[in-house]
Chain A
Amino acid sequence: MADPIAETAAPSPDGWEPRIIAFLCYWCSYTGADNAGTARLKYPHNVHIVRLMCSGRIDPELVTTAFARGADGVMVCGCHIGDCHYISGNHKTMARMPLLRRTLEAFGIEPGRFVFEWVSAAEGEKFARLVRDTVAGVRALGPLDWPGRLRARGVGHGRDLQPWGAQP
């Protein structure tokens, strides 16, 4: 299958900056992020926000895609339980994301790289803190570089396959 990884640029080892993709629901969490901006709260610029109508629309595949294409961390935020604009969209999220986290851990993705939190429209301060904590956590973990790892193992191109080196 066509893999986009071959075209993804590898991060430079020095001057590396964490790349965090944040999926936010429109009604609460994006408004919360907006609130942080309006209140001129400071948070690192490493987070790239993707707005969706509801956290229930955040397909787990969006998260796996983000990691597979080079994100160092992913954030998922939605309305608190009881507050979803579509009533129960976040009930799906509250089951999906912890299950996804367990799955990602089996792939060796540390829990600190995948942050899942409720952020209301009024919680600009919480959002700013969450971003600061996430960026600090991911910075401490270092680059993930999933595309580079797959490229080195021949995924998607099959060239120059290197035998596993540790055999005696």
Chain B
Amino acid sequence: MNAVSKAKVAMYWAGSCGGCDISLLEIGPHLLELVAAADVVFWPCAADFKYHHVASYPDGYIDLCLFNGSVRNSEQERMARLLRQKSKTLVAYGACAISGGIPALANLATPEELFARSYTDCPSVDNPGGVLPRTETESLVGELEIPHFYPQVLRLSDIVEVDYLIPGCPPQATRVWEVCQAFLGGALPARAHEQLAGCTDKSVCDECTLEKRLVKISGFRRHHEAIPEPGWCLLEQGFVCLGAATRSGCGALCTKVNMPCRGCYGPSGEARDQGAAFIGALGSLLNAELEARAGELIDQIVDPAGTFYRFTMSDGDLKGHR
């Protein structure tokens, strides 16, 4: 491939923790193959490009744009629109871009509550004047403006057309490299409609090697309260494990080290709403003959909404608090 025809790739970081950028670095030596075959034309985490460089590119200049992070403010929205315009293929990379991810847990609170918690009420905050951030500020160099806050966390697909979804929090490096290879080999059609990539249509339970003893759950425990017995299904032991409602792709990574699946790859199979799907699955696994006993058991589950929609709050049916 000569320099003129080299593919152009970009990676952007919106409302997310930065783990997705790390997951791309995690492909390790393959990164050298990637940059040998393609030019990185925008990747704020790793290369010194500015927004105005992107704005100066012709439309469709970027062949593959990996967009990670959710959209909660005007800057993220602007970049989503700009990168869509400049990219042939736009990928929602990671749980936040696809379904809100961890930032979208904030959808269970109002903006007022979020600001109060962050800037005044939190015990570690020292803000006697109750000063809150403002979007416009007068300074020595004139008026400065910071991005505007939106009422709730949105998915990338709420803003622009998305071609592919690579799930995970973050996506696993082996899966990411597979998708990169498909792209470099010309096996990834430029346009698609929210097509999943880098995952399978099975569930995490299908890939999990822990032994299912087919016993029903007699009590729930949180991970800091007990040490799981090695080799035995965590859910059967009473640790809330979302494997049954989560699509695979990670190879049941967490359960390999005795951590319950938190559901980061999103809903499995035909399910659209991961939380509702998990409630459906859990309901058939309780060791309760009497209604009162079933009630006692489910009351042991702390924060069901935050737990069952941990990575998919913006993508479930309800998408957040009224």
Contact residues of A with B, CB < 8 Å? 1, 59-61, 63-65, 67-68, 81, 91-96, 98-100, 102-104, 106-109, 146, 149-150, 153-158, 161-164, 166-168
Contact = CB atoms under 8 A, between A and B. Distances in A.
Please list the 8 inter-chain residue pairs (A to B) with the smallest Cβ-Cβ separation, ordered nearest first: A96-B283, A163-B148, A106-B305, A108-B322, A64-B317, A68-B317, A158-B159, A60-B276
B282 A95 contact: yes
B132 interface: yes
A39 to B, nearest CB: 28
B149 A163 contact: yes
A44 to B, nearest CB: 24
B92 to A, nearest CB: 10
Contact of A95 (B155, B273, B286): B286
B160 interface: yes
Give the most central of B134, B158, B301: most A CB within 10 Å: B158
Nearest to B320: A107
A107 B276 contact: no
Nearest to B99: A1
Contacts of A60: 273, 276-277, 279-280, 283
B77 A98 contact: no
Contacts of B155: 1
Contacts of B135: 163, 167
Interface of B: 74, 77, 108, 111-112, 115, 132-135, 148-152, 154-155, 157-160, 194, 271-273, 275-277, 279-280, 282-284, 286, 288-291, 294-295, 297-298, 301, 303-306, 308, 314-322
Contact of B272 (A1, A63, A149): A1
A60 B283 CA distance: 10
Contacts of A106: 108, 303-306, 321
A155 B319 contact: yes
B321 A96 contact: no
B273 A61 contact: yes
B70 to A, nearest CB: 12
Main secondary structure of the interface of A (DSSP, over half): helix
B149 A164 contact: yes
B103 to A, nearest CB: 15
B132 A167 contact: yes
Contacts of B151: 153, 162, 164
Given A61-B317, A95-B283, A150-B319, A103 B149 contact: no
B158 A99 contact: no
A142 B8 CA distance: 53
Contacts of A65: 273, 317
